[in-house]
């Protein structure tokens, strides 16, 4: 799915790499957000996010593509959720020092890294 600004002229006959901002794709009946969407959001725009400081080892582990054990105080829950981890599932925006860096799937108290492979530190 792409978001395209209003007023874009007719692009017929032109080679277009992307027809707008890649928001994500439908996978197995659900929406999977893109890395581009994560990078274009402000931390406050996410329905659910996990926050880390740049000086914490978890931040580097996430940037390298590792799965993290999620501590309850790290999660800013969706509106209407009480922040309990066992029932929480879905995507969370991972932020470092308040800046979005990518997505993770929240499942069974884990943050399963969804950061695009090309964006990971080696």
pLDDT tens profile 14-58: 998 877 888 999 988 889 999 999 999 999 888 889 999 999 999
Q: pTM for the full model?
A: 0.82
Q: CA-to-CA distance for 75 and 88, rounded, in angstroms?
A: 10
Over residues 107-121, mean pLDDT: 88
What pLDDT was estimated at residue 86? 44
Over residues 74-83, mean pLDDT: 68
Helix (H) or strand (E) holding 40: helix 35-40
Q: Is the pLDDT of residue 83 over 90?
A: no
- Name the burial class of residue 109, with classes exposed (0-12), middle (13-18) and buried (19+) by CB atoms within 10 angstroms of its CB: middle
Q: Is the pLDDT of residue 79 over 80?
A: no
CATH topology of domain 2-119: Nuclear Transport Factor 2; Chain: A, (3.10.450)
- β partners of residue 94: 50, 102
Helix (H) or strand (E) holding 106: strand 99-107
Judge whether 115 and 65 are in contact, CB under 8 Å: yes
């Amino acid at each position: 799915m792409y978001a395209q600004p209003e007023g874009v002229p007719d692009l017929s006959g032109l080679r277009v790499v992307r027809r707008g901002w890649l928001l994500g794709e439908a996978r197995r009946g659900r929406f999977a957000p893109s890395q581009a969407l994560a990078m274009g959001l402000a931390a406050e725009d996410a329905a659910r996010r996990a926050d880390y400081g740049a000086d914490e080892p978890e931040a580097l582990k996430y940037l390298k593509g590792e799965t993290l054990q999620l501590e309850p105080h790290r999660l800013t829950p969706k509106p209407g959720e009480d922040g309990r981890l066992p029932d929480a599932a879905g995507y969370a925006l991972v932020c470092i020092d308040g800046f979005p860096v990518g997505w993770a799937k929240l499942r069974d108290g884990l943050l399963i890294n969804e950061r695009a492979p090309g964006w990971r530190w080696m």
